[in-house]
Chains A and B, each alone.
Chain A
């Protein structure tokens, strides 16, 4: 898995005497503040479509970054797991298809959806880790395709081709969570939480061990680790991230159908993670932002340039290829290189490696 090397040295121990508040880099304060006051600046479309979608796709791709960056396993099934999450909320909760939907309250439906999605992710992982390395990508792609076709052909549970519409978030605290500003904060909250948790786990025993398994499974085994169990557990955790993303995605468009978790979207998640970079959890969000901006505005841009708007895929494909060719660590790889060129960052005291 040479694409993601070299690994940053992550430190397990608290390294200095400052309190955790003082140790937060300045950049976090700036970005955090900007994101919090965004609704005062940006319009509804920006909040709901651009940022909301970015956070959701970023969250789903974050699971892939966790698997790929820390675990060395590139899975194409993340979007299918997100799809399972979305479908289960529609099936157990409320939707316009009341012949199938059970209409259970959200506090029952959502946990069930998360658990089922995590089970699905665990099963996927269990199948995928039975073979090594690059087979993973093939097996998970096949599983993603299987889920897509199954959902499309099954009418009893998945309502076939048309899926479910009218899947809405609960009116918790009297707030309409599909209101652009509310939805913005909802997705921001889960994206930020996911980001911080992944960052935290990367330096906890589980995350450190996962990175050890990626670099040297034989040695990890000789240190007492059950390598297979660790890999499968990583899939389970990644599935949780994807499932949360999938439920948010379903609420955003108020519907879920097989196309949501098709092969195209499955590959898009990989594209997002690779464009952003898999070495640090911020990568997927950068990648998602670029993807959403391209997807939203590229058509207009292409038309003004005199090209047909449908050539969006071409643009994405070329951008993806360019990244894989020239910066295998994605945008954050480019960023690191830039910073290395300007010597060490005086604010955080870090060099080229990630935090």
Chain B
């Protein structure tokens, strides 16, 4: 992955921050829609290279959590720190430019463009060429990193296909490629495995496990198998609150969790 760094925070700021700070630090984050609390008083701390799974039933607030962290909509209360920097008030693009990435559960791809163009757009978005009036040349660095990402997510065969013609599984892979554009420091994966076939699922796990080890992420996942294979720590959410945190083994053995979540799966 070609490191295409971006303005926004200076290098020294970043280096200073990365040394000590956590990748993500949420304190008292709540999100209300009218009177409805989709998230209430959430505290989460994730270390820079940590891989965390977020589990929970529908409506537990997992996607809302992502939306608050990535800035799709602002949280009602609380503070969010990204590598030490307070990003609570930042618009989404400023957060992305600082190295945060996310994928979407619903497909938000550009269906009229090709696979390569979608990834290229993602690469441009975190580069300085966002406003470039010049078409990429043959040896364009951004185009090269886009081509590279096509390979990372195993989409070589579909490189020049229009996204509208891709299979569902391929669209999920493309979604991941777009989150890997530029120099991500931390990624939020929103149910990347949902709706995939077993083969596609193992391909996905392979991609996630193969990510550079310094790259931390949070993954929302319904499928315990996927979650436990890629994550080293687990956060359980329930009704917009953090319910349990621990290692995969602890969570699996926790009787409360089993009653609430795993038990439901078996029965």
Contact = CB atoms under 8 A, between A and B. Distances in A.
Interface of A: 6-15, 200-201, 203-206, 208-209, 211-212, 215-216, 218-227, 230, 233
B238 to A, nearest CB: 27
B104 A219 contact: yes
Nearest to A202: B135
Interface string B123-137: 011100111111111
Nearest to A201: B133
Interface stretch (B109-117, B204-212, B220-228): B109-117
Contacts of B96: 221-224
B116 A206 contact: no
B125 A12 contact: no
Most B CB within 10 A of own CB, among A11, A15, A224, A230? A224
B186 interface: no
B93 to A, nearest CB: 5
Interface of B: 6, 70-72, 91-93, 96-97, 102, 104, 108-114, 116-117, 120-122, 124-126, 129-138, 142-143, 160, 162, 178, 181-182
Contacts, number: 117
A218 B72 contact: yes
Given A223-B126, A224-B182, A204 B110 contact: no
Contact of B108 (A203, A219, A233): A219
Contact of A212 (B71, B121, B142, B160): B121
A225 B117 CA distance: 15
Given A222-B70, A227-B93, A209 B124 contact: yes
Contact of B6 (A205, A224, A233): A224
Nearest to A9: B162
Contact of A204 (B72, B135, B160, B181): B135
Nearest to B122: A223
Contacts of B160: 11, 15
A62 to B, nearest CB: 15
A218 B93 CA distance: 10
Contacts of A208: 113, 117, 120-121, 124
A312 B137 CA distance: 49
B112 A8 contact: yes
B132 A224 contact: no
B84 to A, nearest CB: 20
Contact of B131 (A14, A200, A205): A205
A209 B125 contact: yes
B201 to A, nearest CB: 24
A9 B114 contact: yes
Given A208-B117, A225-B93, A215 B110 contact: yes
Contacts of A211: 110, 112-113
B107 to A, nearest CB: 10
Given A218-B72, A219-B104, A221-B93, A206 B130 contact: yes
Most A CB within 10 A of own CB, among B6, B96, B112, B137? B112
A216 B135 contact: no
Contact of A203 (B71, B116, B135, B181): B135
A201 B183 CA distance: 26
Given A9-B113, A212-B110, A212-B121, A225 B102 contact: no
Given A205-B130, A209-B130, A224-B126, A216 B108 contact: yes
Given A6-B112, A205-B129, A221 B124 contact: no
Contact of B133 (A6, A8, A204, A224): A204
A211 B124 CA distance: 14
A215 B112 CA distance: 9
A10 B117 CA distance: 8
B124 A205 contact: yes
A226 B136 contact: no
10 contacts: A7-B112, A13-B120, A209-B124, A212-B110, A219-B108, A221-B93, A221-B96, A224-B97, A224-B182, A230-B131
A232 to B, nearest CB: 11
B116 A12 contact: yes
A69 to B, nearest CB: 13
Contacts of A200: 133, 135
B14 to A, nearest CB: 16
A205 B133 CA distance: 7
Nearest to A353: B112
A222 B102 contact: yes
Nearest to B142: A205
Contacts of B143: 12-13
A10 B120 CA distance: 12
A215 B109 CA distance: 9
Contacts of A223: 93, 96, 121-122, 125-126, 178, 181
Q: Which 8 A-B pairs rank lowest in CB-CB distance, beginning with the nearest?
A: A223-B125, A224-B125, A7-B112, A224-B96, A219-B108, A221-B92, A224-B126, A205-B132
Contacts of A201: 133
Nearest to B126: A224
Contact of A226 (B91, B112, B135, B137): B91
B178 to A, nearest CB: 7
Contacts of A12: 116-117, 120, 135-136, 143
A30 to B, nearest CB: 25
B121 A209 contact: yes
Contacts of B92: 221-222
Contacts of A6: 112
A227 B72 CA distance: 13
B112 A205 contact: no
